[in-house]
Structure 1
Amino acid sequence: MWPLKRECSCTSAQMHYSSSKMTRRGVYLMNHYDVVVVGAGPAGCATAIACAQRGMQVALLERATFPRHRPGETLHPAIEPLLEQLGMQGELTELPCLRHEGHWVHWDAAPRLIKFGEDAAGPWRGFQIQRAAFDALLLGRARALGVQIMQPCQHPTAMCKGNTITGVNLMSHRLTATYVVDASGRHGWLRRQLPMQWLEFSPRLIARYGYCQGEWELVHDAPRLLATQDGWQWIARVDTNQLHWTTLSWHTNSNLIAEPPDPLKHLTPVGPVRGAAVSWRLSAAPMGPGYVLVGDAAAVLDPASSHGVLKALMCGMQAAQAITDCLAWPHGEHAVHNHFKNWLHTQFNTDLKALRHFYSVHPCAPAWI
């Protein structure tokens, strides 16, 4: 059996279960779900929503209280049909957000505007939105579908029987499940407990991000990606008077001083500078007996690969379909697991190839590329 770690600190007031089982250690509140999802980001919420739409009983566990800070506030217009499939038609357009037709790139040539595309109705426009508002939108949809949301929920641990994940321990509460979904992001909740193989494709990379108050005229029309001597800078307007920035350096020293990009140093910082590990990696087995990895818990590329939230939603929805197939075809689980793995690896390798090429034409391309 795989080793387990300490248990969750959720209070009993946050749990609502229907049955109990007496053991020598005391009373354990028990409840069975078709799916338990750990992590309420875009990938986790998409998984929970798509599973609930298929009639499954779903529990969604999130360790942090909302709102929380995350990078990735530029949404590709292709996100709209995905949200429509999740039953959220038009909800994104009802939020206060800026729209743009693409983004400017200052990289290997003169600055150029890369547009999302267009159709007979006109140019496609992306969304510049506060991630906190977007996360709340997804969580609200999951709640409306009857998903049991447990938040905050610190330190859940995996329950195992042999090599199969059978649920999640939460102190004296035990949530059994046919499938447990790790949507904990780069934190990697499940891989910290189980001996999982990961494929590494880059050295240690840290993306820094933050906010500034004020005006910078070059991002009035669209976000901008700028090559620097040792990496890149991303600057986008969040609202009429606030800018979001993200930077990445090729240097592997995570203790480098983190500060806003040079073009924004004259502006007033809003809140602290934060960081996120974005080393390129891929799970060798993203789906197995009783578990699925989705979003950044399954595969990570740095933000320059673009469309991170879009990919997270797609991965969660694909996982929900894979779970549905496994429930309908128990004897074919292994084939479904391989199909999900092949889908994820194909998506990752396509993005990896494009990102490697993009970095290879950087004016100061990293030696490791």
Structure 2
Amino acid sequence: MSGNGPDGGAGTRRYDVLVAGGGPAGCVAALVLVRAGARVVIVTPVVPPGRRVGESLAPTARPLLERLGVLDRVAADGHTPCHGNLSAWGEDALSATGFRSGPYGDGWHLDRARFDAALLEAARAGGARRYAGRVRGVQRWPDRWQVTTGDGGMFQAGYLVDATGRAARPARRAGAAVVRCDHLVAVAGLLGPPSTGAAEPERASLVESTPWGWWYTAPLPGGERIVMAMTDADLVTGLRLLDPDVWWARVRLTGHVRDRTARWTEPPRRLRVLAAGSACARPAAGPGWAAVGDAATATDPLAARGIVTALATGSAAARAILADRAGETGALDAYARRIAAVHAEYLNARVAQYRREQRWDTPFWRRRH
């Protein structure tokens, strides 16, 4: 990495903590840190409208959001309620898991752009700075990090938080290895608002398994609906899932997803391919740095825990950094061990969930059995 050495230059910006990435995990980490008095900058690119797809947020996020002081804002921000999850898994019939009987009530079908913006604004209101850019270079000096951005910005910080997602490039620059368990991808299409009908959509997420993978769909605020075909990256071409017409024809071959997209008469104009595989950073923290969210532990969407994990790891990493700053040796190592244990528990649950579907002896399912 080019730079001006350990002392930086006249244009170097100095902070206690630099957060690379402005999603939920990074913003929560920044929020906890600035409330404790740390000087924090969030380096994150401007995301064009439509780049973030909506998804469901489980009710277990409520106590996390409440502790962060942002629950009321999220609840009033136009997201629609999610009453539970439906699945056709291991059999054609639907099974339901309702939220209303649980301790936290309903979850939400999110407008992701609005949700992420609310967390970023909360961090900025607390005192975090935001720099619009992308981290390109990371170099470790004895007592701090020197970070450069794609547009030539230069920063120094005592701590580095990697919230860049599954790629986890800053964590890898810090010495972590990203261990991937599979190559699951989502071929996602956004439908709506519908061209026919005005009935209120069912307020639940739905998964439906197929011989080559599974489908996910959920209603979104504003009458839209997200639909994703989940399969392994090497199977996409043979299935022709990148062709919107073929993708749409496969939707029509389902049972329950077809029913929930009946109000739409045409496929989406474009499809997006999103990484959705399971992965873990090993370790997820070290001297002066920590990974959060998908950079620390990335989970299969089937687990429905991505955003909740982002909130929890962002908060936990921030507390570990604050403890390390206060002289508590081992705080960051303890965080890394906690992430490893959480990911191991998730992998066991993932195996059990996929083993519930035994109807097909195909490459996708053999890999998971």
TM-score by length of 1: 0.84
Structure 1 residue 206, shift from structure 2 partner:
1.2
CA distance in 2, matches of 1:272, 1:193: 34
- Equivalent pairs, count: 342
Structure 1 residue 274, shift from structure 2 partner:
0.9
Match of 1:134 in 2: 115
Q: Any idea what SS the aligned residue of 1:296 has?
A: helix
Q: Any idea what SS the aligned residue of 1:158 has?
A: strand
Identity %: 25
Structure 1 residue 270, shift from structure 2 partner:
4.8
- Pairing partner for 1:176 from 146, 153, 156: 156
Closer, same or farther: CA 297–124 of 1 in aligned 2, 3 Å: same
Match of 2:67 in 1: 85
CA distance in 2, matches of 1:240, 1:29: 44
Query: Are 1:30 and 2:28 matched, yes or no?
Result: no
CA distance in 2, matches of 1:271, 1:343: 43
Structure 1 residue 326, shift from structure 2 partner:
0.2
Closer, same or farther: CA 254–36 of 1 in aligned 2, 3 Å: farther
CA distance in 2, matches of 1:79, 1:149: 25
CA distance in 1, matches of 2:299, 2:317: 19
User: 1:292-326, CA deviations, whole angstroms, 9 ceiling, x for partnerless residues?
Assistant: 11111112122111121111010100000000110
CA distance in 2, matches of 1:65, 1:182: 18
Q: Structure 2: give runs of 5+ residues left out of the alignment.
A: 253-257
Closer, same or farther: CA 155–51 of 1 in aligned 2, 3 Å: closer
Q: Any idea what SS the aligned residue of 2:220 has?
A: strand
What letter is aligned with 1:343? R
Superposition map of 1:149-228 within 5 A = 149-151=130-132, 153-161=133-141, 166-170=145-149, 173-191=153-171, 193-202=173-182, 204-213=183-192, 214=194, 219-228=201-210
Q: Any idea what SS the aligned residue of 2:33 has?
A: helix
User: 1:89-137, CA deviations, whole angstroms, 9 ceiling, x for partnerless residues?
Assistant: 31112122221321111111331111235358xx711101210110111
CA distance in 1, matches of 2:233, 2:128: 42
Match of 1:299 in 2: 297
Match of 2:367 in 1: 368
Superposition map of 1:247-326 within 5 A = 247-250=229-232, 252-255=234-237, 256-258=240-242, 259-260=247-248, 261-262=251-252, 263=258, 264=261, 266-270=264-268, 272-326=270-324
CA distance in 1, matches of 2:278, 2:16: 31
Query: Are 1:245 and 2:227 matched, yes or no?
Result: yes
Larger CA deviation: 318-327 vs 87-96: 87-96
Superposition map of 1:58-97 within 5 A = 58-65=40-47, 67=49, 69-71=51-53, 73-97=55-79
User: 1:182-215, CA deviations, whole angstroms, 9 ceiling, x for partnerless residues?
Assistant: 101123231554553232322x221121211226
User: 1:319-359, CA deviations, whole angstroms, 9 ceiling, x for partnerless residues?
Assistant: 000001100115x1xx2122101211121122211111111
8 Å Cα contact 1:69-1:131 kept in structure 2: no
Closer, same or farther: CA 32–240 of 1 in aligned 2, 3 Å: closer
TM-score by length of 2: 0.84
Closer, same or farther: CA 136–269 of 1 in aligned 2, 3 Å: farther
What letter is aligned with 2:366? A
User: 1:200-244, CA deviations, whole angstroms, 9 ceiling, x for partnerless residues?
Assistant: 322x22112121122697952422111111111111111353111
Closer, same or farther: CA 31–181 of 1 in aligned 2, 3 Å: same
Q: Structure 1: give runs of 5+ residues left out of the alignment.
A: 8-21
**If each structure's strand is expressed as a fraction of its own residues, which one has the higher value?**
1
**If each structure's helix is expressed as a fraction of its own residues, which one has the higher value?**
2
CA distance in 1, matches of 2:228, 2:200: 16
